[in-house]
A and B are shown apart, each in its own frame.
Chain A
Amino acid sequence: DAGVIQSPRHEVTEMGQEVTLRCKPISGHNSLFWYRQTMMRGLELLIYFNNNVPIDDSGMPEDRFSAKMPNASFSTLKIQPSEPRDSAVYFCASRRQGNTEAFFGQGTRLTVV
């Protein structure tokens, strides 16, 4: 199993541009999580899905952020327009329903200049 796959690994973009981060969860996992990590705020849960349905998006910082999960094998996190304060490492994680541990991807390091 290749684990949770995130792309791109690194993204540098200019302020105001649209950014799309992608995640492929582990096959058979029913839950998917998006986190953001910064030095100041640590690991923050942005949104999570169960069976492709968003359950809790209370961690999404503002309307510029949106996340979708069109099918069980793919999710996107979009920032439009991006701002320098969005610079962070974004992690995706997945978990099998009934299984207890979550598996994390390697993250996408986003830099907005």
Chain B
Amino acid sequence: DAKTTQPPSMDCAEGRAANLPCNHSTISGNEYVYWYRQIHSQGPQYIIHGLKNNETNEMASLIITEDRKSSTLILPHATLRDTAVYYCIVRGMNRDDKIIFGKGTRLHILP
């Protein structure tokens, strides 16, 4: 079972920052927070991941609370191409750790 909770859908105006929340209150100390997205009819695409520090790459920023029970994915300047389902996933780093997807958040970018 997925160990995360996300809102089913969100809207964001084009050009604004999209902030996608995720709750993972049962996360354990050696588990990372990952974000993937799935654009319609395509396979999921990796975005970013983190353990406890905030992370940033060319696609997004990840803010993890100090208690690590929740996180926020930030798309700084959303475009229409960012319309997708965004999945927050918790998994460990062991060789056999599975990648389990929940229902995700359907993000609509509005022109």
Contact = CB atoms under 8 A, between A and B. Distances in A.
A50 B94 CA distance: 11
B98 A48 contact: yes
B80 interface: no
Interface string B31-51: 010100010001111100100
B16 interface: no
A42 B101 contact: yes
Contacts of B77: none
Nearest to A51: B95
B43 A104 contact: yes
A93 B98 contact: no
Contacts of A33: 99
- What DSSP secondary structure best describes chain A's contact surface? strand
A76 interface: no
A4 B46 CA distance: 14
Given A50-B95, A56-B96, A100-B32, A42 B102 contact: yes
Given A100-B32, A104-B45, A105-B43, A50 B99 contact: no
Interface residues of A, number: 22
A56 B97 CA distance: 10
B46 A102 contact: yes
A45 B46 contact: no
B17 interface: no
Given A101-B49, A102-B46, A104-B44, A56 B101 contact: no
Contacts of A104: 43-45
Nearest to B96: A55
A59 to B, nearest CB: 9
A100 B103 contact: no
B10 interface: no
